[in-house]
Structure 1
């Protein structure tokens, strides 16, 4: 998802204000550095900085997409490297373990429904009527 580009409402307001002031007098000077020339220069500086910022965001988005693609390629190659070591030395070899795999003869088989961290015992499930809801069956007439 692309980052949201910035658009300055202050810049838009300043451009409209400059156009209005220019229609009064293109060489208007209000003293203390308040003149149309300085105002227009500051507007252009802001426009340039906003464009640079938005371009930087676009470049950042591009770099991010490229990084994600490279990360995917790295993950694929990492998997292929481990499969290659398993193919050459066997999945029960020491070399396979050294490459980061779990040797086949050291894997622990889990029972169905058992969590990967089954070191702690699970509490027993109590069922009175065999349907798993824990309620006693109603007396039959």
Structure 2
């Protein structure tokens, strides 16, 4: 999932305000470095930083996508190799276990008695509800 790109409402508001101030007086100043030129510089700096940040997010998104593709590729190859080991040696062999598989004889299956107990308990609950 792509990361959300940042936008700045404050930046947009400041740009609109600066346009209005330019219409009034392009050299407007209120002293103490509180003038239109300073505001325009800050707007430009923030705009550049925001663009740089969003470009960095793009790089991260691209890298993440590449990593995901590589992981899927490696997973598929790993599964194919395990299937190859199972084909050559069998899925109940020690080689299959060494390659990372679970031997067929080692798989744990639910006992029939457990399933019967669960079925009886479920039917008892249904009778109590009615």
Shorter-chain TM-score category?
0.7 to 0.9
The CA RMSD measured in Å over matched residues stands at: 2.8
- Structure number with bigger Rg: 1
Separation of aligned partners in 1, 2:87 and 2:102: 14
Larger RCO, structure (CA 8 Å, separation 6 or more): 2
Separation of aligned partners in 1, 2:79 and 2:111: 26
Separation of aligned partners in 2, 1:106 and 1:123: 24
TM-score (norm 1): 0.73
Q: Displacement of 1:133 after TM fit? A: 4.2
Deviations for 1:38-67, whole angstroms, at most 9, x for unmatched residues? 111100011111111222222222222222
Number of residues of Structure 1 aligned to a counterpart in Structure 2: 126
TM-score (norm 2): 0.78
SS in 1 for 2:4: coil
Q: Which runs of 5+ in 1 are unaligned?
A: 116-120, 136-141
Q: Displacement of 1:3 after TM fit? A: 2.2
Matched, 1:56 2:49: no
The range that moved more, 4-13 or 87-96, is: 87-96
The residue number in structure 2 matching 1:102 is 102
The residue number in structure 1 matching 2:43 is 43
The one of 110, 126, 134 aligned to 2:127: 134
Separation of aligned partners in 2, 1:96 and 1:48: 57
**When you count helix as a share of all residues, which structure comes out higher?**
2
Separation of aligned partners in 2, 1:110 and 1:39: 73
Q: Displacement of 1:109 after TM fit? A: 4.3
